[in-house]
């Protein structure tokens, strides 16, 4: 699943990363990989801003503003039965 291009708030400070791999383990959309003992963002636009990576990073190397992206809109739509967002269907596309 891909979301709108270039709007994700996800940031990775590779200098702080200790290469533990937790971000890759917990990310539901495989946004991260580990290379040369450091995390890398490989599919940034697939990030749904759930913040699982940031909450599980022991080095505080990841930041993301949870609840500002399409994931929040989709969850709101599921909970309320209303249109998930007003993007006209552009925020989420199947892969």
- Residue-wise pLDDT for 12-59, tens only, equals 999 999 999 999 999 999 999 999 999 999 988 888 888 999 999 999
The answer to whether 7 touches 46, Cβ cutoff 8 Å, is no
Give the pLDDT confidence score for residue 12 in this predicted structure: 97
Domain ranges of the chain: 11-66
Between the CA of residue 37 and those of 19, 45, 73, what are the distances in Å? 5, 23, 35
Query: How far from 79 is each of 7, 14, 37, 82, 92, CA to CA, in Å?
Result: 24, 36, 40, 8, 18
Global model pTM greater than 0.85: no
Report the topology of domain 11-66: Alpha-Beta Plaits (3.30.70)
Average pLDDT taken over every residue of the chain: 80
Condensed to tens digits (0 to 9), the pLDDT of residues 48-86 reads 888 999 999 999 999 998 765 666 666 767 788 775 544
């Amino acid at each position: 699943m891909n979301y709108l291009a270039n709007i994700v708030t996800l940031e990775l400070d590779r200098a702080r990363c200790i290469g533990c791999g937790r971000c890759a383990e917990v990310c539901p959309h495989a946004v991260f990989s580990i290379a040369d003992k450091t995390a890398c963002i490989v599919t940034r636009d697939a990030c749904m801003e759930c913040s699982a990576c940031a909450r599980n990073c022991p080095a505080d190397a990841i930041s993301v503003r949870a609840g500002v992206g399409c994931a929040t809109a989709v969850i709101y739509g599921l909970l309320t039965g209303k249109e998930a967002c007003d993007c006209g269907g552009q925020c989420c596309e199947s892969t």
